[in-house]
Amino acid sequence: MERPVHFGKWFGQLMGLAHTLIIRHQKKRISNKEINERPRFRLCSFCFDTRVFVFSTDPKPSPLLLSCKLKTLGTPTTQSPLLIYSDPMGAYKYVSELWRKKQSDVMRFLQRVRCWEYRQHPSIVRVTHPTRPDKARRLGYKAKQGYVVYRVRVRRGGRKRPVPKGIVYGKPTNQGVTQLKFQRSKRSVAEERAGRKLGGLRVLNSYWINEDSTYKYFEVILVDVAHNAIRNDPRINWLCNPVHKHRELRGLTSAGKKYRGLRGRGHLHHKARPSRRANWKRNNTLSLRRYR
């Protein structure tokens, strides 16, 4: 059978549904009992083919929700019911789906134009609103007083050893100057630079937005802990505690915990906690009581 036309958006408007729908296929049939048991199924008096199409906005819908064949012969008529599964899908879901397809023509053009604009600005600049609002909100951003977003530019590539004139005083095994890789990620470097420049703000999180052949661009979410809107909000005022000063410099942000190896759990990650150095020191230190 030929690939059907995407009638999702047009059909959503026709049916009065507030969300664009996506065509999905499967060979499994859905019985009338299953249709009656699922209130989110809707019957429509339109059909464009002899097959039932389930329009689903769920990224991983159940196989039972995905389509079956319709016993109609000949050309479609208005008497042929069409099974529609509509589930609420917010605007951020569409934005997220766009960012998941970065190689699409639209995103490639948009990213290229934005990258040109970013190159005209300083390495650290404040932005009025997040470039990726869905990602920013997932990482804790709120469009309220006390939250700010800065775009940070970090040069790509390896890291030379910072020694004068390339002279390394030491053993030959440590003589390397070039082709060295920094142990931290570019994202954590972006957080560090933003935190150092904006000492009165606390770094909450960050995310990637763009890159070209020379730079990577990140947006860093910062919080003004002196603002009353932040201090009176129980969901974020934990950041006002003094122990969170310059948390980006001590590997306490999400990017910091990742390069410290604290993302995983279980027996494969025992040597990463509480830190690699602390674990090594504990296992290689002989402690003897004075009177034994």
pLDDT digits (tens, 9 = 90+) for 144-189: 999 999 999 999 999 999 999 999 999 999 999 999 999 999 999 9
Spatial contact of 40 and 30, defined as CB atoms under 8 Å apart:
no
Give SS3 for 35: helix
| Partner residues linked to 83 by β-bridges | 43
Half-sphere exposure of 6 (CA within 13 A, CB side): 5
Tally of domains within the chain:
2
Last residue of a domain, one of 85, 104, 131: 85
Tell whether 204 is covered by a domain: yes
Distance separating alpha carbons of residues 286 and 292, to the nearest angstrom? 14
Strands (E) in 194-265, as ranges, are 202-211, 215-223
Whether residues 149 and 264 share a domain: the answer is yes
Q: What confidence tens digit (pLDDT) does each residue in 113-150 have? A: 999 999 999 999 999 999 999 999 999 999 999 999 99
Task: Assign 292 a pLDDT band (cuts: 50, 70, 90).
Answer: confident
Q: Which of 29-38, 85-94, 201-210 has the highest mean pLDDT?
A: 201-210
Whether residues 23 and 156 share a domain: the answer is no
> Residues 74-78: contacts with CB within 8 Å, 24+ apart?
76/47, 76/48, 76/49, 76/50, 77/47, 78/45, 78/46
Whether residues 199 and 135 share a domain: the answer is yes
Tell whether 111 is covered by a domain: no
Structural Rg of the chain based on CA atoms: 27
CATH number at residue 275: 3.40.1120.10
Distance separating alpha carbons of residues 96 and 138, to the nearest angstrom? 11
Whether residues 197 and 273 share a domain: the answer is yes
Q: Given this model, what pLDDT does residue 85 score?
A: 47
Residue 75 in tokens: 């050309």
The b/e string for 53-87 (b: 16+ C-beta within 10 A; e otherwise) is bbbbbeeebeeebbbbebebeeeeeeebbbbbbbe
Q: What confidence tens digit (pLDDT) does each residue in 186-240 have? A: 999 999 999 999 999 999 999 999 999 999 999 999 999 999 999 999 999 999 9
Whether residues 199 and 80 share a domain: the answer is no
Last residue of a domain, one of 59, 85, 111: 85
The residue type at 92: Y
| Enclosing domain of residue 80 | 8-85
Whether residues 53 and 167 share a domain: the answer is no
Give the torsion sign (CA, 11, 15, 17, 22). negative
Tell whether 210 is covered by a domain: yes
Last residue of a domain, one of 85, 106, 135: 85
